Amino acid sequence: MRDEHQSKQNQVLFALLRESLTEDAVPCGDVAAGEGHNCDYARLIDQATKHGVLPLICDPLERLPVPEDLLQQARKRAQMTVRQNYRLLFLSRYLLAELHKRQIPTVLLKGMGTASYYPVPELRKSGDVDLLLLDPERVQEAGECLKALGCTVEEWQPALHHVVFGYQAGERRIEIELHTMLAEPFDDARINQLLTRQVPQLPPHVVQAETIGVTLPVLDTAYHAYELLLHMLQHFLRAGFGLKLLCDWVVFWNRGADETQKTLYLALVREAGIKKFSDLVTLACVDNLGLRPEAVAFMEPDQTLSADAFMAEIMEAEEFGKSSRDRMVALRGSGVTDYVREFHHQMHLNYPKAGKVWLLWPVLWCLTLGRFLINNHTVRKTSLSAILKKAGQRGDLMKKLELFREER
């Protein structure tokens, strides 16, 4: 009974999102009167909050029999999101303009650039500013520029391929990530080499996008979609991601694209070996969130893929995969080699500099295992067996995607 009730609640949430994201969706009131007449709106709002999409459904919620106190909660969340997005928008413009003055080629990734595709851009929840440096050799120079503008280097630096800065905007501290690749390294040498080679090819693919009256440099349609897909895959291979990133996919492709950009997008995902992951994301969005089939017909998605199983994984994960302590990674299979490969990858993530020296690997493996076990016990308060079991279950889904196998 609980699964049935949860399913109805999901259907109401999907209907609310379809109405918010698309112009031709079935009015959510009709769905609520059918599938969700017994909807627990408190749980629905909690679920939308955990997926980072509550501001998006604030307006259609007003037309449903939602208690006033819950509506007030949704309105407050929407107002906070709008204020934060204006901070991010003007900070992004400021930083990019100053980098441009110094002739340091940089574009905005995701964030307010992606928000421009939404009917109401201010309601797309964002938390930080992601900048991609198109000349990775100038990362130190770009970092000095950001520091001169009031940004400070954060003590915690998770990788060598982006530098994390902080910027104090009133009472809020905004995180700024300066990237030198379209995505953080995966556990596959070929895809990482490909991502490194692609950055110098990007300058001809920079376009200007207008968001809430502000023009920002972003990547063109094909590379923007490629960037969004890599971001989703990166999160999925870790703890997972929720509905917000799928909403990005819906509004992005529903806007339409010319044939040249469609052809380039397919070439990019096939070369990277992530076409099936693209298909899975697309099918889930068509089935649930209002992505128009005709807008993505050019992809010819593999209909044998299980969008239902993938959507169940998305709903379980929530926004950043923090729904449960045993969600850490998704293996690319469920065999012993898949566990070993992921463990070695985690070693490189934990020790990016020392990991380049292969003579240190045995020591780093021991340190990685020690950190892993201590964190499980003291921070996540879960067991090694629970994490391995969850990783293996998610690996069964990933195995079907044949990730990083280049299509020819």
For the chain, the average pLDDT equals: 84
Residue 36 pLDDT > 50, yes or no? Answer: no
Average pLDDT rounded to a whole number, residues 314-327:
62
Higher-confidence residue: 61 or 39?
61
User: Alpha-carbon distance 263 to 268, whole Å?
Assistant: 9
Q: Where are the domains of the chain?
A: 2-317, 336-399
Span 142-194, pLDDT tens digits = 999 999 999 999 887 766 678 999 999 888 899 999 999 999 888 888 999 99
Q: What is the largest CA-CA distance in the chain?
A: 64
The yes/no answer on whether domain 2-317 falls in CATH 3.30.460.40 is yes
Residue type, 314: I
Read out DSSP for 90-156? HHHHHHHHHHHHTT--EEEESHHHHHTTSSSGGGS---EEEEEES-GGGHHHHHHHHHHTT-EE-S-
Question: Contact 97/66 with Cβ under 8 angstroms?
Answer: no
H/E stretch holding 257: none
pLDDT at 331: 46
User: Alpha-carbon distance 242 to 235, whole Å?
Assistant: 10
User: Alpha-carbon distance 382 to 324, whole Å?
Assistant: 10
Span 49-104, pLDDT tens digits = 999 999 999 999 998 889 999 999 999 999 999 999 999 999 999 999 999 999 99
